[in-house]
Structure 1
Amino acid sequence: MVTAETAVVLPVLLLVLAAVVAAVVVVGAQLRCVDAAREGARAAARGEDAATVQAMVAQVAPEGAATAVAVGGGEVRVTVRAEVTPLGPVRLEVGVGATAVARLEPGVAG
């Protein structure tokens, strides 16, 4: 009797485990986007050029992330977006992204 119950429950447990692993991967990618956007906004607010900001963001962001830097109105806005495939070979893509805004430092031209 126990064997039949285990045979029924085991696939459900594997699906729950896969869902938990996928959630952890997506949340991790989201946090990397947040960190990358903040890092880029701080660098741009200090007056770093766009290429340097892009390079700094690329080091922190998930692989294949797209970055947009906009400066204007005394502030800088950095947006990082990425598509994450949390289950590897399963073609399920989840979009994650973050935007950070920072005021330009005194003496930095917009």
Structure 2
Amino acid sequence: MTAEFALLLPTVVVLLALGTGAVRVVVAQVQCVDAARAGARAAARGEGPDVVRWAARAAGPRGAEVSVRVAGSSVTVEVSSRQRIAGPVGGTVLARGSATAAAES
């Protein structure tokens, strides 16, 4: 084992951990947006708030928080999820998605 390899290996491990964490956050962000759209579609069909929350949670990442706001004839669904970043940096990132739909007549 050379000295260069010994210095390079920890750097490669850190970069892999950061890359994996970044991919996880991007996937969670896409899932939050898709979940908000699914909830908004359910609300537009006239479903109740419990069904809207269920539809959004089913499509979202595990442990996602869902909020439903009704303003006149439109409904806004927001989905958020905290994602832990692995590696030496640590911490969490908030992934969030929102969608608004008008109620169908």
Q: TM-score, normalised to structure 2's length?
A: 0.91
Q: Which residue of 2 aligns with 1:103?
A: 102
* Distance across 1 between alignment mates of 2:22 and 2:96: 15
The structural deviation recorded for 1:24 is: 0.3
Q: Which residue of 1 aligns with 2:32?
A: 33
* Distance across 1 between alignment mates of 2:90 and 2:4: 31
* Distance across 1 between alignment mates of 2:19 and 2:86: 10
* Distance across 2 between alignment mates of 1:14 and 1:23: 14
* Distance across 1 between alignment mates of 2:100 and 2:49: 15
Q: Which amino acid aligns with 1:38?
A: R
Q: Which amino acid aligns with 2:41?
A: R
Q: TM-score, normalised to structure 1's length?
A: 0.87
Q: Which residue of 1 aligns with 2:56?
A: 57
> Is 1:13–2:20 an aligned residue pair?
no
Fraction of identical pairs, as percent: 43
Q: Which amino acid aligns with 2:30?
A: L
Q: Which amino acid aligns with 2:38?
A: E
Q: Which residue of 1 aligns with 2:93?
A: 94
Q: Which amino acid aligns with 2:47?
A: E
* 2:75 aligned counterpart, secondary structure: strand
User: 5+ residue gaps in structure 1?
Assistant: none
**RMSD, aligned α-carbons:** 1.7
* TM superposition outliers: structure 1 runs of 4+ over 3 Å: none
